[in-house]
Chains A and B, each alone.
Chain A
Amino acid sequence: MKRTIWILWPSFIVGGLGEVLFFTVFDPHELYLFGEPSTLSRMAVYTIGFFLCWAFAAASSAFTCFLQGGSREINR
Chain B
Amino acid sequence: MKTSGAPADLVEQSLYEVRRTIHPRAVRGWFAAWRWALVWATQLVFYGTAWLQWNGRQVVLFDIAQRKFYIFGLVFWPQDIIYLTVLLIISALSLFLFTAVAGRLWCGYACPQTVYTEIFMWLEQKIEGDRVARLRLEAAPLSPRKFALKAVKHGAWIAIGLWTGFTFVGYFTPIRELWDAVWIAATGPWETFWVLFYGFATYGNAGWMREQVCKHMCPYARFQSAMFDNDTLIITYDRERGEPRGKNAISRPGKGHCVDCNICVQVCPTGIDIREGLQYECIGCAACIDGCDQVMEKVGFPKGLIRYSTITAMERKLTRAQMFARAFRPRVLVYSAVLWIIIISAGVALWNRVPLKVDVIRDRAAISREVEGGMIENVYRLQIMNTSEAPRAYRLSVSGISGIRIPGEAVIEVEGAASRMVPVKVRVAPGAVAAGTHRIEFGIESTDDTSVAVREKSVFIVR
Task: Point out the residues of chain B lying under 8 angstroms from A23, CB to CB.
Answer: 64
Give B46-84 interface residues, CB cut-off 8 Å to A.
64-65, 67, 78, 81, 84
Given contacts A24-B78, A25-B78, A43-B190, contact A5 B64 (CB under 8 A): no
Is B40 an interface residue, CB under 8 A from the partner?
no
Task: Point out the residues of chain B lying under 8 angstroms from A46, CB to CB.
Answer: 64, 190
Task: Point out the residues of chain A lying under 8 angstroms from B78, CB to CB.
Answer: 24-25, 27
A-B residue pair count with CB separations less than 8 angstroms: 34
Is B208 an interface residue, CB under 8 A from the partner?
no
Is B279 an interface residue, CB under 8 A from the partner?
no
Give A4-62 interface residues, CB cut-off 8 Å to B.
5, 9, 13, 23-25, 27, 41-44, 46-47
Contact flags B198-220 to A (C-beta < 8 A → 1, else 0): 00000000000000000011010
Is A1 an interface residue, CB under 8 A from the partner?
yes
Main secondary structure of the interface of A (DSSP, over half): helix
Main secondary structure of the interface of B (DSSP, over half): helix
Task: Point out the residues of chain B lying under 8 angstroms from A5, CB to CB.
Answer: 216-217
Measured between alpha carbons, how far is A9 from B222 in the docked complex, in Å? 15
Is B300 an interface residue, CB under 8 A from the partner?
no
Is B17 an interface residue, CB under 8 A from the partner?
yes
Given contacts A2-B13, A2-B16, contact A43 B217 (CB under 8 A): no
Task: Point out the residues of chain B lying under 8 angstroms from A1, CB to CB.
Answer: 17
Is B441 an interface residue, CB under 8 A from the partner?
no
Task: Point out the residues of chain B lying under 8 angstroms from A13, CB to CB.
Answer: 219
Residue pair A41, B65 in contact (C-beta under 8 Å): yes
Residue pair B81, A24 in contact (C-beta under 8 Å): yes
Interface residues on A, range: 10 to 19
Is B191 an interface residue, CB under 8 A from the partner?
yes
Residue pair A42, B13 in contact (C-beta under 8 Å): no
Which B-chain residue is minimally distant from A29 (CB atoms)?
A: B67
Which B-chain residue is minimally distant from A2 (CB atoms)?
A: B16
Task: Point out the residues of chain A lying under 8 angstroms from B147, CB to CB.
Answer: none
Which B-chain residue is minimally distant from A48 (CB atoms)?
A: B190
How far is the CB of B213 from the nearest CB of chain A, in Å? 9
Task: Point out the residues of chain A lying under 8 angstroms from B190, CB to CB.
Answer: 41, 43-44, 46-47
Which A-chain residue is minimally distant from B190 (CB atoms)?
A: A43
Task: Point out the residues of chain B lying under 8 angstroms from A42, CB to CB.
Answer: 64-65, 67
Task: Point out the residues of chain B lying under 8 angstroms from A27, CB to CB.
Answer: 67, 78
How far is the CB of B430 from the nearest CB of chain A, in Å? 38
Which B-chain residue is minimally distant from A20 (CB atoms)?
A: B84
How far is the CB of B3 from the nearest CB of chain A, in Å? 14
Is B194 an interface residue, CB under 8 A from the partner?
yes
Task: Point out the residues of chain B lying under 8 angstroms from A44, CB to CB.
Answer: 190
Is B188 an interface residue, CB under 8 A from the partner?
yes
Contact flags B8-31 to A (C-beta < 8 A → 1, else 0): 000001001100000000000000
Is B193 an interface residue, CB under 8 A from the partner?
yes
Which A-chain residue is minimally distant from B193 (CB atoms)?
A: A47
Give B335-384 interface residues, CB cut-off 8 Å to A.
none
Measured between alpha carbons, how far is A1 from B173 in the docked complex, in Å? 35
Task: Point out the residues of chain B lying under 8 angstroms from A2, CB to CB.
Answer: 13, 16-17, 216
Measured between alpha carbons, how far is A9 from B219 in the docked complex, in Å? 11
Task: Point out the residues of chain A lying under 8 angstroms from B191, CB to CB.
Answer: 43
Measured between alpha carbons, how far is A40 from B217 in the docked complex, in Å? 34
How far is the CB of A75 from the nearest CB of chain B, in Å? 15
How far is the CB of B194 from the nearest CB of chain A, in Å? 7
Task: Point out the residues of chain B lying under 8 angstroms from A47, CB to CB.
Answer: 190, 193-194
How far is the CB of A52 from the nearest CB of chain B, in Å? 15
Task: Point out the residues of chain A lying under 8 angstroms from B173, CB to CB.
Answer: 43
Measured between alpha carbons, how far is A47 from B173 in the docked complex, in Å? 14
Given contacts A24-B78, A27-B67, contact A43 B216 (CB under 8 A): no
Measured between alpha carbons, how far is A34 from B216 in the docked complex, in Å? 41
Task: Point out the residues of chain A lying under 8 angstroms from B216, CB to CB.
Answer: 2, 5
How far is the CB of A69 from the nearest CB of chain B, in Å? 13
Measured between alpha carbons, how far is A13 from B16 in the docked complex, in Å? 23
Residue pair A43, B17 in contact (C-beta under 8 Å): no
How far is the CB of A72 from the nearest CB of chain B, in Å? 8
Q: Of the candidates B16, B188, B194, B217, which one forms a contact with A9 in the assembled complex, judged by CB atoms under 8 Å apart?
A: B217
* 13 A–B pairs (Cβ distance < 8 Å), ordered by A: A2-B17, A5-B216, A9-B217, A27-B67, A27-B78, A41-B190, A42-B67, A43-B64, A43-B190, A43-B191, A46-B64, A46-B190, A47-B194
Query: Lowest 10 CB-CB distances: which A-B pairs, in order?
Result: A43-B190, A42-B65, A47-B190, A24-B81, A24-B78, A9-B217, A43-B65, A44-B190, A5-B216, A46-B64
Question: Which A positions have Cβ atoms within 8 angstroms of B?
Answer: 1-2, 5, 9, 13, 23-25, 27, 41-44, 46-47
Extra A-B contacts (18), CB below 8 Å, given A24-B78, A27-B78, A47-B190? A2-B13, A2-B17, A2-B216, A5-B217, A9-B217, A23-B64, A24-B81, A24-B84, A25-B78, A41-B188, A41-B190, A43-B64, A43-B173, A43-B190, A43-B191, A44-B190, A46-B64, A47-B193
